[in-house]
Each structure stands twice: as C-alpha cells, then as structure tokens.
C-alpha cells in the first residue's frame, strides 16, 4: 500500500465498492486490525497517533465511527479539539495536544490537530506565508521527535476531489438528526471564496512539505464511503504492524571520557566563584528583588504572560534555598513548584516532554522547576540512562519546546548554580553533620561527585546548545549562597521588568 | 497538644515568644518534622492534607513559607485556588480540590479549600442558612471518606482575636513589596459590616459543626507570629506521626454466600428478558433516538450542562455495542469515552474517586464510562479486593459524589445491562468462535460467571442503595441487543429533553 493514492475502490473498474465486496474485505481486515491492536497493546513499545484530516463533509466523523466499530474500543480514544475554546487558550496552543498524547500500547485518533490550526490561520490570513513556513519547519521537527520518542504517526487526508474544501456541495456525512451538518465541522469559519482558495493552496503545500519517509501523508479518496473506510483501515493496519515490529535501537555505549558535543569555549572555568555578599547588603537586596518580582507578577501586564523558571546546578549548590526565596515572593494562588524526580508510570509511557507539558502554567501563573527537562542532557546523558542518539537529539527538541512557550508570551528563565569541588565537599560534610540537613545527602550525591568532569562537559554542551534569546541560561556563582540568591532574584526581577 | 487552644507562646507569662527561645524550639521541632516527613514518604501509607484557614492578615502566607523552610520541599506542595477562576467553574466546584489531592507519602497545604467557598457563599448571602447546613453535613461525610481513603487531614484556623475577619486593623503579614497586602487574600470580597458579621458567625458555627474526633479543628492564635508558627509546626508533627503510625485495618473475610446489605425486594428477577425488537423497527427507533440525543447535546441549553453516562452490566451484555451507538450520536469534539480498567500508579496512590473526578467533563461535554466507580461495590466487593467495611461505605461516598455532579447541573444516568445465564453462555461460545470477537472473552469472564449469584446480590444492593432522583439507574433487558440499545438511547433522549 503506497501513500498518496490509496483507495478501496475497485481498481479495475473505478466503480464504487459494492456492499457485498465491502463486507467480505472488511471482515478480513477487521480481524487483522484487531490482532495488530492486541499485539500493540501487549508489547506497549509504541503509541499510535492517527491524524484525521480533510474537508468538512469528507466523512471524518464516519471514519471515526468505523474505526470504533472495527477496533477494540478499550485501547483507542478519540481526541478532538474545539479550536475556539477560550480556556484552552490560557496555555500555549500545543498544550492540549501534548496532554492527550496516547500512552504506549494505545491508539489515539486526533481530529483538529496542529494541522488544523496552521491551515486555519493561513486561510484566514492570521498567519502570513513566512509564519506558515516557519510552522511547517517546526512541525517537521516535532513529528520527528514524536517518532523518535515512540509515537507512530498515521497522517490521513480525506480528499473530496477538486472542490475539496467546499463541503456544501459534496456532503457524504449523514449524522443523526441533520443531513446537512457533518458530525465534525472544522472549516465553518472559512466562508469566503478567497479564504477557501487560500486553504486549498495551503493544504496542498502543507501535505507536500510535511511528508517525509518517517511521517508520510496518506491521501484517501472520500467520494466513495465504503472504499474510503477500507483504505483507511488498510493504512492503519500497515501502521499498526510496523509499530508492533519496531525494535528499540541497541543502547549506545557511553564514552568513558568527558566528551563535548559543541566546540564552544568552556564557560564554567570563567566563573568567579569567590564573589560574595555581606549579610546586611544581602538582606536589603534580597528584599528589594523579592518586592520587584512580587509587583511584576501581580501586575496587570503579567495576566496574559506566565513565568517558567528552571533550576539546575551542581549537587548542594543551593537550588532549594534559592527556590524558597523565589516562591516566598510569589502569590501562592498563582504559583506551583515541581520537583522533578523519577517519572510515574503514566509519564514513562509517553515522550519525555509530556511530564513538563502537563504542568505548563496558566497565563498569569508561575511554574518553578526544581530540576527540569534538562535532566535528559545532564543526568540521563552522564549516567547512560539515555543513549547518545537520544540525548543528542534532545537539544533541538528542548529548543523547540521552549520556543513554543516563549512564542505564547511565556517568560522562561534557566539557572545553572555552580560551585567548585572543594565547596561541594564542605557542604556535603556539613550536611552529614547537621541533623535537619542529613536528608539532603545521599549515596547518589557522592557517586555523582565522582563524575564531576562528565557533568561539567554535559553542562558546557547544554549551555552552548540551548542558550537562546527567549530562553537564556544564567550561570550563577554559588560558592556564596547569599551572592547566588541575590543574583538569581535580581536577574528574574530585571527580566520580568524588561518583558512586561 | 490538644486541639482548640494550642499556642507556641510562653504559657507561663502569656508573653510573645522571644527569638532565642523560638530558635531553640524550632531547631528541635524541625528535626522531628523532617524525620516524620521522611517516614511518611517511605511508608507511603497515607497522604497528609493541611487545610490552612483564617483571616486575611493572620499570616497564612507566612505559615506557608515557614513550612516550606522547615520541611523538605520535594514532598510538599502548596495547593491554592483562585475562587473566581472562570475556567475552573466549567466543572463542578469540587473538581479542582480533587485534582490536586496529594498522593500517599506526600503533604499538600491547601489554601482556599472547600471551607473558603462555603463561608464566602454564606457571608455574601449566596447560600442561605439551610444550604449552609447541608454543605456542612456533606463536608463531614466527604472528610470522613478522605480519612478512610488514607488522607489524613490537619485543619488549622489562624485566629486574630475578636476582630478575626477584619484584616485591615491587624495585619501581621509583611509580604515583599507591600506591607499592606497580605500574600494570601481570601476575604477581599467581604466588604460590608453585615457580611463581615455573618462571616464571623458562620466561621464559628462551621468550626463547631465540622470538628469530630477524626477531623478536628486546631485553632492557632496568630497575633504572635513566632508562637503561631511553632504551634502550627507542633500540630503538624502530631499529624505526621499519627499518619506514620497508621496501620491498615486487617482485611475482612468475604462472606461465602450471596449476601445482601439492603433489604429491598430483588428487582433483577422482575425483568422481562424476552423482550425483543424487529430489525426494521430497531433501525428506525435507533436513528430517531440518536437524532434526538445529537440535537439535545448540540443545543444552546446543553452548553451550561454536561452528560455523564455510566455503563455497567453482566459480562457480554452488550455494553460495547451500546456505547458505540451512543458515541456515534455525539459530536466527537465534546465527547470522551473512558474504559475503566486497572488503575495506574498515580491513581492507586489516591482515594478511589480521584480517577473519576480527574476526567469529569467540561460543561457542554459528555463523558461515557465503560464500567465506572461502581466497580467498588461490584467486582471489588465480589472478588474481595475491597474489605466489607470499604465497599459498604462506598454507597454513601458514591451518592455524595454524584450529588456534587448533579448539583452542578450535570445530567447523570446509569445503565445496568442484564442478560440471563443461558444468554451469556450462548454469547461466550459465539465469541470464542468468531475471530474478531475472540478478544472479548477471557478466563476472567468464565470465572466471573461462576460467581453469578454473588454478583446478582451486589447488583441488587447497588441499585437499592444508589438509585437517586438525580442519578437514576435504568435496568436494561439485554437478551436482545436491539431491544437493549434502543431502550438505552431512548431513555437518554427522554432524560436529556426533560432536563434541558
């Protein structure tokens, strides 16, 4: 079955499929689909995400119902979106798609996916040519990421012939209660001829530019409903079988020596870790920065923005203390702190960014991450939990993730808290000796310490490869806790005031 | 430490605590708190939920920051709510509290809990005396349920003396940036003397009527900040230690014989399972009911309502087929189907209703449950997964859950699909023989069949004890699939039209 021209119609005659032949083929197909679906569920090695697109009236609702008839409904879910939902818009546009990503072993059928938004914006002129192309490029990278993160995509476009976005002339849907209303209405807003033409052109371009070997488009002729359903079923069967056959790549071997991916000059050695701050000054400056952060996050301008702060750093560098000073400057109603530890089973069954997307703050709110998505290029890299191919592609994935946040108006700031090895040893020893700090020091901390050089190399790469204008890293000299905390809070206060 | 008059102030002199004595006591307290916190996290046998209440200016924000200073922030979370959030209001009021329930082993500190809503509504007159008392009674039942479901509650009320809800005269908070603005402002809307007086009276009554031995209130004098913090810390220590000491009750022994809890007359034997429907009539009536459901759920009146349908029934009674006919009558954008199977680890770590609350639909949407919260009084009862004390209290818990939904305007309907033993056997055999239905029949189904009488007794109890006007059960004679499906869809169509 090749993409681009699949059809269930009788190839020899070009005639619509008759009901008897459909029944015969559908029965065999259904059996094969169910087998593949159960194999997928048993292995739980990949998720399958079906993007169901096409003109209103091409039968998206019918196809949906057919797939629910053929498959075991317990491991498939329909994921459909109201593009005009104003409460969903209180987070970045990608949030809703991420939240619904099916877990491995399951199948999601998405209607109104990211393609719908892109096309609608292009057709109505809300996105110009250039923006549209930027979204296409980003979409390609995100889909590559999904595929690499064990989500198999099946991209289907139901074609209604030439007048493919009209919908009023050709309407094969017969939803209950209203023969003129397709069950799924996506394009109701496209009401002028100019918009319709732009939509047709944009759709054609989109299909061409977002189809590569790993994420091809499958167009399906929709004028013959039975043939259409068979064609969709066959594409799905191919997809499920490929997902079941998939084998995880052999885990790569971690280079023993510190290894840099980027070739920039190391920045950690340039930090002046001797900087300090006397107590009186500390208290004044801290209170001042806290007051500025409080005022900024309570301001009217912030209501349509949001703040995301990620804290990373050497063990014992003082993340907890800094976070405490930050959170006490924020209204608790609009703030959450997320300590990032081992993922839950729901998180493990999905792409690694899911657990961060699910907690993306509402506009007007602040999310503080105590460790973050950078774990992939730090601890997972150094400890070998992620294969080199996995953490190496993560830099780009993370940059895209952050770009989606900042494009939505979110203020994103990342801190690396740096101490030297001597200071770390002093703090470890002090923690061992202080009863209420005992808990902060574990075997793992001592083990991480032995990998100091590997971590340093990973940090250098991280900073070189993920420093962006919208998501900057601030390196914080943290041998002095007072100096560190004030630098962090002042940096945030400056940033917020500059952004608002 | 007894509830009701705890204070950290020097009991001998009544004087505020001086800083030195505070430091000494706080250091020891902190150590004990951390030990208890780690024990709690290690055992993961209970969650701890702190409800932090009191007047604006009594220092809720300060106490919050203190607890974050004293405890390991990785297993505590602040849960604070914006009572005027309009997007939250698109679901029943309790939804946001449920979503945030801490998992076992962790501590949540809640500001703006259900008490805040109750008091605000009472003070502003939105709730009359009678409604207020009904809420109090419901709250007591819900808190009993939380305690039984392994959430330990610590209910704290910070007292500011006589003028306890004024807030303007006495303001001990010094949040950054504004000495006159408490970090946590809950009562800004209470602006008339009349409302203030009503709030004081209501708060007093609330504290009296919602304190029992398992969920006592602890009032803490807030005029001395250091003493206040120590008192809160001590209450928390008691709470944590009690939670750590807690032992699960010995599992009860399941009665071998069918056993009824309620003494109503059995209804299952009264069903006429011979009812059937000829094919032509079936198709007409099914399409008609689907059209009515489509029209009702697309209507303007439905936008502020929502539909929740729970399907339970004998194995092979036809839940899947009925659900498919229902979902194909709904706009996929506003509908989700939730098959209820084994809980995930996130679900297992919280009270059993959490997994249903987390998927409560938005207003204007429909949620279809393929098996439901009734599993507790059906499979968990019969298979002995839940001890008798657990499933026996579930009837009341479920009634409260459903009352909260229907009070918010949700239309709730529950179907029991009944077949007899002969019909079940026929269907099991047919499934074994049909390739694409093979998957529907498992060892477990045969095992359940052996417990037919036990299930029948459980169903009788369930129907007798959870049939309410707002959440009715419809028993569906399902030996004929056509009859069953039409009865289900017609019942829903009638119900929707009557409600809208």
Burial class (CB in 10 A: 0-12, 13-18, 19+), B108: buried
Mean pLDDT of A439-457: 89
Cβ–Cβ of B324/A65 closer than 8 Å?
A: yes
Backbone angles phi, psi at A120, to 5 degrees: -65, -45
Q: Which residue in the set B34, B82, B86 is minimally distant from A439, CB to CB?
A: B34
Nearest one of B486, B66, B472 to A327, comparing CA atoms:
B66
Residue A257 clears pLDDT 70, i.e. is over it: no
Where do the H-state alpha helices sit in B164-263? 193-209, 225-245
Under the phi-then-psi rule, with left for phi > 0, alpha for psi from -120 to 50, and beta for the rest, what region is A371?
left
Give residue limits of the domains in chain A: 19-245, 268-499
Burial class (CB in 10 A: 0-12, 13-18, 19+), A113: buried
Q: B77 CA to chain A: closest CA distance, Å?
A: 7
pLDDT of residue B13: 52
Residue A488 clears pLDDT 90, i.e. is over it: yes
Q: What is the CA radius of gyration of chain B?
A: 26
Q: Which residue in the set A183, A294, A323 is minimally distant from B331, CB to CB?
A: A183
Residues of chain B contacting A116 with CB distance shorter than 8 Å: none
pLDDT of residue B250: 73
CA-based torsion, B52, B54, B55, B57: positive or negative: negative
pLDDT in tens, chain B (500 residues): 334 444 444 444 557 788 999 999 999 999 999 999 999 999 999 999 999 999 888 899 999 999 999 999 899 999 998 877 777 778 999 999 999 999 999 999 999 899 998 999 998 889 999 999 999 999 999 999 999 999 999 999 998 865 544 443 333 344 454 444 567 788 888 888 888 888 888 888 898 889 887 889 999 999 899 999 999 999 999 999 999 999 987 766 655 566 788 989 999 999 999 999 999 999 999 999 999 999 999 999 999 999 999 999 999 999 999 999 999 999 999 999 999 999 999 999 999 999 999 999 999 999 999 999 999 999 999 998 898 889 999 999 999 999 999 999 999 999 999 999 999 999 999 988 887 777 778 888 888 899 999 999 999 999 999 999 999 999 999 999 999 999 999 999 999 999 99
Instruction: Provide, rounded to the nearest whole percent, the portion of chain A with pLDDT above 90.
Output: 70
Backbone angles phi, psi at A474, to 5 degrees: -115, 120
Nearest residue in B to A322, CA atom: B69
Residues B4 and B156: their CA atoms lie apart, in Å, by 10
Confidence category of residue A182, pLDDT binned at 50, 70, 90:
low
pLDDT of residue B212: 80
- Length of chain A, in residues: 500
Nearest residue in B to A35, CA atom: B436
The pLDDT tens digits of the residues spanning A259-306 come to 788 989 999 999 999 999 999 999 999 999 999 999 999 999 999 999
Nearest one of A369, A318, A325 to A477, comparing CA atoms:
A318
Helix/strand/coil for A365: coil
Q: Which residue in the set A183, A324, A328 is minimally distant from B332, CB to CB?
A: A183
Residues A165 and A158: their CA atoms lie apart, in Å, by 10
Where do the H-state alpha helices sit in A16-113? 19-43, 60-70, 95-99
A459 HSE (CA, 13 A, CB side): 24
Residue with tokens 């014989």: B257
pLDDT of residue A295: 95
- Length of chain B, in residues: 500
Element (H, E) at A309: strand A306-313
Mean pLDDT of A385-403: 94
Cβ–Cβ of B78/A34 closer than 8 Å?
A: no
Q: Cα B39–B45–B50 angle (5° rounding)? A: 80
Mean pLDDT of A162-175: 43
Residues B450 and B448: their CA atoms lie apart, in Å, by 5
Residue A8 clears pLDDT 50, i.e. is over it: no
pLDDT of residue B183: 76
Question: In whole numbers, what is the pLDDT of chain A averaged over residues?
Answer: 89
pLDDT of residue B180: 47
Best residue in B331, B362, B434 for a mutation probing chain A (most A CBs within 10 Å): B331
> Quick one: CATH architecture of A19-245?
3-Layer(aba) Sandwich (3.40)
Instruction: Provide, rounded to the nearest whole percent, the portion of chain A with pLDDT above 70.
Output: 91
Best residue in A90, A97, A333, A345 for a mutation probing chain B (most B CBs within 10 Å): A333
Cβ–Cβ of A72/B346 closer than 8 Å?
A: no
Q: Which residue in the set B38, B333, B334 is minimally distant from A439, CB to CB?
A: B38
Residues of chain A contacting B298 with CB distance shorter than 8 Å: 177
Residues A453 and A457: their CA atoms lie apart, in Å, by 6
Q: Which residue in the set B38, B294, B320 is minimally distant from A176, CB to CB?
A: B294
Burial class (CB in 10 A: 0-12, 13-18, 19+), B450: exposed
Residue A361 clears pLDDT 50, i.e. is over it: yes
Q: Which residue in the set A34, A90, A346 is minimally distant from B344, CB to CB?
A: A346
List C-alpha distances in Å: B7 to B15, B69, B73, B224: 11, 20, 25, 9
Cβ–Cβ of A80/B333 closer than 8 Å?
A: yes
Residues of chain A contacting B177 with CB distance shorter than 8 Å: 290-292, 294-295, 298, 329
pLDDT of residue A3: 40
> What strand order describes the sheet that includes B335-339?
B335-339, B366-370, B306-313, B410-418, B473-477
Structure tokens at B383: 């298979």
pLDDT of residue A253: 60
Q: How far is CA B320 from the centre of its chain?
A: 27
Nearest residue in A to B329, CA atom: A176
pLDDT of residue A219: 92
Residue A2 clears pLDDT 70, i.e. is over it: no
Helix/strand/coil for B306: strand
Cβ–Cβ of A177/B294 closer than 8 Å?
A: yes
Q: How many CB atoms lie within 10 A of CB A64?
A: 23
Residue A395 clears pLDDT 80, i.e. is over it: yes
> Quick one: CATH architecture of A268-499?
3-Layer(aba) Sandwich (3.40)
Nearest residue in A to B332, CA atom: A80
ipTM of this predicted structure: 0.90
Residue with tokens 């449950």: B369
Which of residues B22 and A170 earns the better pLDDT score? B22
The pLDDT tens digits of the residues spanning A38-85 come to 999 999 999 999 999 998 888 999 999 999 999 998 999 999 988 777
Where do the H-state alpha helices sit in B71-173? 95-99, 114-123, 129-148
Best residue in B176, B355, B492 for a mutation probing chain A (most A CBs within 10 Å): B176
Q: How far is CA A53 from the centre of its chain?
A: 21
pLDDT of residue B433: 87
Range A216-237 burial, b when 16+ CB lie within 10 A, else e: bbbbbbbbbbbbbbbbbbbbbb
The residues near A97 (Cβ < 8 Å, ≥ 6 apart) are: A79, A81, A110, A113, A114
pLDDT of residue A251: 63
Backbone angles phi, psi at A25, to 5 degrees: -70, -40
Structure tokens at B190: 């209470």
CB B67 within 8 A of CB A337: no
pLDDT of residue A5: 42
Confidence category of residue A181, pLDDT binned at 50, 70, 90:
low
Residue with tokens 């590559």: A144
Question: In whole numbers, what is the pLDDT of chain B averaged over residues?
Answer: 89
Best residue in B82, B333, B339, B489 for a mutation probing chain A (most A CBs within 10 Å): B333
Residues of chain A contacting B27 with CB distance shorter than 8 Å: 436
Element (H, E) at B326: helix B319-327
Q: Which residue in the set A78, A82, A435 is minimally distant from B31, CB to CB?
A: A435
Residues A274 and A462: their CA atoms lie apart, in Å, by 24
CA-based torsion, B422, B428, B434, B440: positive or negative: positive
pLDDT of residue B7: 42
Q: A301 CA to chain B: closest CA distance, Å?
A: 17
CA-based torsion, B128, B133, B134, B138: positive or negative: positive
Mean pLDDT of A468-494: 97
Same fold, A19-245 and A268-499: yes
Share of chain A residues as helix, strand and coil, in percent rounded to the nearest 5: 50, 15, 35
Q: How many CB atoms lie within 10 A of CB A137?
A: 12
Residues B246 and B305: their CA atoms lie apart, in Å, by 41
Question: Where are any strands of DSSP class E within B9-96?
Answer: 47-54, 76-80
The pLDDT tens digits of the residues spanning A226-253 come to 999 999 999 999 999 999 999 987 765 6
Residues A327 and B62: their CA atoms lie apart, in Å, by 12
Which of residues B431 and A416 earns the better pLDDT score? A416
pLDDT of residue B171: 39
Residues A354 and A402: their CA atoms lie apart, in Å, by 13
The pLDDT tens digits of the residues spanning A312-342 come to 999 999 999 999 999 999 999 999 999 999 9
Helix/strand/coil for A201: helix
Mean pLDDT of A393-398: 96
């Amino acid at each position: 079955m090749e993409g681009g021209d699949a059809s269930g119609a009788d190839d020899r005659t070009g005639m619509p499929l008759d009901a008897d032949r459909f029944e015969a083929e559908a029965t065999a197909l259904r059996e094969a689909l169910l087998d593949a679906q159960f194999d997928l569920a048993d292995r739980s090695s990949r998720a399958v995400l079906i993007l169901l697109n096409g003109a209103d009236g091409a039968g998206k609702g019918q196809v949906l119902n057919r797939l629910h008839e053929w498959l075991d409904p317990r491991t498939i879910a329909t994921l459909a979106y109201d593009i005009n939902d104003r409460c969903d818009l209180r987070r970045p546009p990608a949030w809703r798609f991420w939240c619904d990503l099916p877990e491995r072993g399951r199948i999601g059928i998405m209607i109104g996916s990211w393609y719908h938004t892109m096309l609608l914006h292009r057709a109505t002129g809300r996105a110009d040519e250039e923006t549209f192309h930027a979204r296409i490029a980003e979409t390609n990278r995100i889909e590559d990421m999904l595929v690499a993160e064990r989500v198999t995509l099946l991209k289907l476009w139901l074609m209604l012939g030439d007048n493919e976005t009209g919908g009023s002339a050709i309407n094969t849907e017969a939803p209950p209660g209203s023969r003129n209303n397709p069950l799924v209405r996506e394009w109701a807003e496209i009401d002028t001829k100019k918009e319709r033409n732009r939509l047709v052109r944009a759709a054609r371009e989109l299909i061409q530019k977002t189809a590569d070997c790993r994420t091809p488009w499958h167009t399906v002729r929709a004028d013959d409903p039975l043939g259409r359903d068979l064609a969709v079923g066959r594409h799905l069967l191919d997809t499920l079988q490929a997902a079941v056959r998939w084998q995880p790549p052999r885990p790569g071997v971690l280079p023993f020596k510190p290894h840099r991916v980027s070739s920039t000059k190391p920045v950690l050695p340039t930090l002046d870790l001797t900087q300090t701050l006397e107590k009186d000054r500390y208290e004044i400056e801290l209170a001042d920065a806290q007051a500025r952060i409080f005022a900024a996050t309570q301001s009217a301008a912030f209501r349509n923005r949001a703040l995301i702060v990620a804290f990373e750093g050497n063990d014992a560098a003082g993340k907890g203390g800094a976070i405490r000073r930050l959170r006490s400057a924020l209204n608790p109603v609009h703030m959450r702190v997320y300590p990032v530890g081992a993922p839950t089973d729901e998180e493990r069954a999905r792409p690694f960014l899911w657990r961060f997307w699910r907690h993306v703050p509402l506009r007007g709110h602040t999310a503080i991450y105590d460790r973050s998505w950078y774990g992939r290029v730090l601890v997972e890299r150094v400890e070998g939990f992620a294969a080199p191919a996995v953490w190496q592609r993560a830099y780009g994935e993370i940059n895209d993730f952050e770009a989606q946040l900042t494009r939505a108006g979110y203020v994103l700031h990342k801190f690396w808290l740096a101490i030297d090895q001597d200071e770390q040893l002093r703090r470890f020893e002090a923690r061992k000796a202080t009863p209420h700090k005992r808990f902060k020091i574990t075997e793992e901390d001592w083990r991480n310490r032995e990998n100091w050089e590997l971590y340093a190399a990973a940090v250098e790469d991280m900073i070189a490869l993920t420093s962006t204008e919208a998501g900057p890293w601030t390196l914080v000299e943290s041998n002095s806790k007072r100096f560190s905390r004030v630098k962090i809070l002042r940096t945030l206060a400056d940033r917020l005031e500059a952004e608002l």
